[in-house]
Amino acid sequence: MKIISIANVKGGTGKTNTTIGLAKELSKKYKVLVIDNDPQSSITSILLNDIKEFDNTLYDVYLQKNIGFNDCIYEFQENFYIVPNCLNSMTLDLELSSKGNRENILLNKLNTIPTVFDFVIIDNSPFISLQLKNSIVISDLIICPIDNSSSSLQGYNMMMKTLKTLQDDNLIENKNIYVLRNRFDKTSKFTKDFNKAVEENLKDVLLDTIIFNSIKYKEASALHTTIQEHSTEHAKVFTDLCNEILDKI
Ligand SMILES: Nc1ncnc2c1ncn2[C@@H]1O[C@H](COP(=O)(O)OP(=O)(O)OP(=O)(O)O)[C@@H](O)[C@H]1O
Ligand SMILES: [Mg+2]
């Protein structure tokens, strides 16, 4: 089982979009579990919108000793399963502030993920939180989506700082992190210049695949579905991304 975190400490760079597209692509060949590790619960509301109430969510996995991942796995499609989240998780950092070993809560529950899963993809919130740290601790690989803004690069730098802090605290060893360009456009001079700078400065960690700007992604979310089911033309980029990541792993 390989675990991939999708994370950037900057909002709206395409973490959720990437999680859904990549998970759908992987689910064509593998059994995939998506963990909604964002209190905003975007994945939950986009893909599990027809379920009004969950017996348990990731919130319970964090807080309750006897609840594991296997108590809150919901099927979205064939080979594509989801651990949902809920808005209560907004206060988790506070609720867990006095708990020891709190960066390892998910690590200590990893054995409750059924071994049938080949891949676990974790969608994260845009904040440095205990939940982000838990996600990094259990991940084999981190993908950091950036859009064509300098603040998303600052978000990447904050991610690197967070990794360094976790290393200094002996909570992780070296983690592979890759940068994914999302919401780029093909024509503007601004994006071309930005792209050139990114290619020069981040060449060791930059993925070749670029997800271009398109309203189709927003449409797919509004329709509670994946880009693969909404637009075959826009789905192709996720085949490329998937192959690139399988190569790295
Ligand atoms: N390549 C793209 N082209 C156009 N719109 C996109 C693209 N990728 C994502 N979007 C849209 O941009 C918005 C933000 O994307 P998304 O929710 O994936 O970002 P996020 O990083 O998960 O945000 P947050 O930090 O709030 O969790 C969404 O409405 C999404 O549909
Ligand atoms: Mg999101």
- Summarize pLDDT for 29-71 with one digit per residue, the tens: 999 999 999 999 999 999 999 998 999 999 999 999 999 999 9
Structural domains in the chain? 2-248 (3.40.50.300)
Question: Minimum-distance ligand to the CA of 13?
Answer: 1
Ligand 1 neighbourhood includes 183 CB (under 6 angstroms): yes
pLDDT at 231: 96
Q: Which of 33-42, 103-112, 188-197 has the lowest mean pLDDT?
A: 188-197
- Give the integer Cα–Cα distance in Å for 41 and 143: 19
pLDDT at 125: 97
- The rounded mean pLDDT for the chain is 96
HEC assignment per residue over the chain: CEEEEECCCCCCCCHHHHHHHHHHHHCCCCCEEEEEECCCCHHHHHHCCCCCCCCCCHHHHHHCCCCCHHHCCEEEECCEEEECCCHHHHHHHHHCCCCCCHHHHHHHCHHHCCCCCCEEEEEECCCCCHHHHHHHHHCCEEEEEECCCHHHHHHHHHHHHHHHHHHHCCCCCCCEEEEEEEEECCCCHHHHHHHHHHHHHCCCCEEEEEEECCHHHHHHHHCCCCHHHHCHHHHHHHHHHHHHHHHHC
Work out the percent of the chain whose per-residue pLDDT is above 70.
100
Residues 126-130, mean pLDDT to the nearest whole number: 96
Residues 112-116, mean pLDDT to the nearest whole number: 98
Taking CA atoms only, the protein residue closest to ligand 1 atom 30 is: 218
> What are the φ/ψ torsions at residue 49 (nearest 5 degrees)?
-65, -25
Ligand 1 neighbourhood includes 42 CB (under 6 angstroms): yes
Residue carrying structure tokens 């789905």: 235
Q: Which of 47, 149, 217 to mutate to test the pocket of ligand 1 (most atoms within 8 A of CB)?
A: 217
Residues 195-203, mean pLDDT to the nearest whole number: 93
Contact indicator for 146, 180 with CB cutoff of 8 Å = yes
Ligand 1 center to residue 99 CA distance, Å? 33
Ligand 1 center to residue 220 CA distance, Å? 11
pLDDT at 187 over 90: no
Ligand 1 neighbourhood includes 15 CB (under 6 angstroms): yes
204-208 contacts, C-beta under 8 A, 24 or more apart = 205/177, 205/178, 205/179, 206/178, 206/179, 206/181, 207/143, 207/178, 207/179, 207/180, 207/181, 207/241, 207/244, 207/245, 208/240, 208/244
Residues 6+ apart with CB under 8 A from 43: 16, 19, 20, 34, 36, 82, 84, 85, 123
Atom number, ligand 1, closest to the C-alpha of residue 211:
1
pLDDT at 186 over 90: no
Ligand 2 center to residue 94 CA distance, Å? 21
pLDDT at 52: 84
Global pTM value = 0.97
